[in-house]
A and B are shown apart, each in its own frame.
Chain A
């Protein structure tokens, strides 16, 4: 089953507006990470939030985590055309061996920022 599900699948906004993307997951997690992928390129790590954290900021990015609802949101403020990309959330869980290396990705949200 899909662990991370991003919502919406696609989002189109104007430059300067804020963009909010959501991620829901099914099982308990250790960490949740957000990545950006420009078309045809690799993934760029944006931010990691631990399960005992509720909110984290990095520049124009704000991530929240609600473990009771098994959801996270990524807010990009004052968006720019260069923010146009796909955004993925990835979760990791402790396995039976006590390790948490296996990231589970959703299908992503395609964000288009129009100049």
Chain B
């Protein structure tokens, strides 16, 4: 079974500072994918960044980067130069890389509420 753990229920950061949101995972699959999503108060799930288990480079997308440490089974999200609009719930998720009907479904962590202060 797969499991995602986000140990920070809430995080606070000053505007323009960087912040790291923690995510650890557990899986017996050799191939898997890791995702980060942002969920503002409107409820929509906004896809931020993806890291494949075989990717050697850490993924980056604009101000978002994923600090992937495979041996530690961690996939922390780093947001640089925080903005007020970054305040939201953030979810880490994992997708099994195996085929079959289970492929594609995501297992989510508990989420971290990020608050950016001016």
Partners in one complex: no
